[in-house]
């Protein structure tokens, strides 16, 4: 069974709907749907909460080849060695690491914790913004980072490029192609981040 199948099986046996489990975890129902269809992965905090709520162990969820692959390679990068805009330089650095394979640019933001969501909602109510300053601050922190989803034969990698390094993480659970909104992968979650496929790298 995949990680998603295990989550669904345990949820049904515990008598929860997706909406009820989502409410107890403090996430959206869509997040639970993505986890159960293997289009996203819960973070460690949510895995621990689920194990308590559903009466299963984290080890059970993560065994048999579905464990989160926490092995990460990080290499220094000198973006000044490339020409073009900051984004173009990151594309060239990516192609230096992964030539001739399918790569997708990703829009990303970090999901707010439960306490940050409460604070963000309160700030939003007190201002004219439709979002609070916590969400805005997290978005600002992400401006110098670019994420990519790379397919190399049967393997998928989440690649993060900042001004200082290229970080590559091999995914243990594949992100499935959906072709939503003209993109191959649509929206998905990995750990505590939300991603949206914005197109292929030329």
Query: Beta-carbon neighbour count of residue 158 at 10 Å?
Result: 22
CB distance 166 to 159 below 8 Å? yes
Tell me what pLDDT residue 182 has. 58
Q: How far is the C-alpha of 102 from the C-alpha of 181, rounded, in Å?
A: 19
CB distance 6 to 58 below 8 Å? no
Q: Note the pLDDT tens digit of each residue in 150-193.
A: 998 888 889 999 888 898 888 877 888 876 655 677 788 776 67
CB distance 38 to 177 below 8 Å? no
Q: Note the pLDDT tens digit of each residue in 58-77.
A: 777 776 543 444 456 878 88
Under the banding of pLDDT at 50, 70 and 90, the label for residue 45 is: confident
Q: How far is the C-alpha of 132 from the C-alpha of 91, rounded, in Å?
A: 32
Q: At what angle do helices 3-14 and 29-36 cross, to 10 degrees?
A: 120
Q: How far is the C-alpha of 92 from the C-alpha of 112, rounded, in Å?
A: 31
Under the banding of pLDDT at 50, 70 and 90, the label for residue 148 is: very high
Q: Note the pLDDT tens digit of each residue in 125-141.
A: 555 544 444 444 444 44
Structure tokens at 40: 């996203």
The secondary structure of residue 180, as a DSSP letter, is G
Q: How far is the C-alpha of 12 from the C-alpha of 34, rounded, in Å?
A: 16
CB distance 7 to 13 below 8 Å? no
The secondary structure of residue 80, as a DSSP letter, is G
Ordered by where they begin, the domains of the chain are: 3-62 (1.10.260.40), 72-200 (no CATH)
Q: Note the pLDDT tens digit of each residue in 84-110.
A: 999 999 999 999 999 989 999 998 887
Residue 81: pLDDT over 60:
yes
Nearest to 104 by CA among 168, 144, 151, 170: 151
CB distance 79 to 165 below 8 Å? no
Under the banding of pLDDT at 50, 70 and 90, the label for residue 123 is: low
Q: Note the pLDDT tens digit of each residue in 6-32.
A: 899 888 988 899 999 999 988 899 989
Is residue 167 helix, strand or coil? strand
């Amino acid at each position: 069974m995949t990680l998603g199948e295990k989550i669904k099986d345990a949820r049904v046996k515990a008598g929860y709907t997706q909406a009820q489990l989502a409410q107890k975890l403090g996430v959206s129902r869509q997040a639970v749907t993505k986890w159960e269809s293997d289009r996203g992965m819960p973070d460690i905090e949510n895995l621990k909460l689920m194990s308590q709520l559903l009466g299963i162990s984290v080890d059970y969820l993560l065994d048999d080849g579905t464990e989160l692959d926490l092995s990460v390679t990080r290499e220094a990068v000198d973006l000044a060695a490339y020409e073009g805009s900051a984004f173009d330089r990151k594309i060239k650095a990516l192609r230096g690491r992964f030539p001739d394979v399918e790569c997708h640019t990703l829009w990303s933001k970090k999901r707010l914790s439960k306490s940050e969501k409460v604070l963000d909602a309160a700030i939003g109510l007190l201002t004219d913004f439709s979002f609070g300053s916590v969400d805005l601050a997290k978005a600002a922190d992400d401006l110098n980072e670019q994420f990519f989803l790379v397919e190399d034969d049967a393997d998928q990698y989440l690649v993060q490029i900042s001004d200082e390094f290229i970080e590559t993480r091999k995914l243990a659970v594949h992100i499935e192609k959906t072709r939503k909104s003209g993109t191959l992968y649509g929206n998905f979650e990995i750990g505590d981040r939300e991603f949206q496929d914005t197109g292929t790298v030329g």
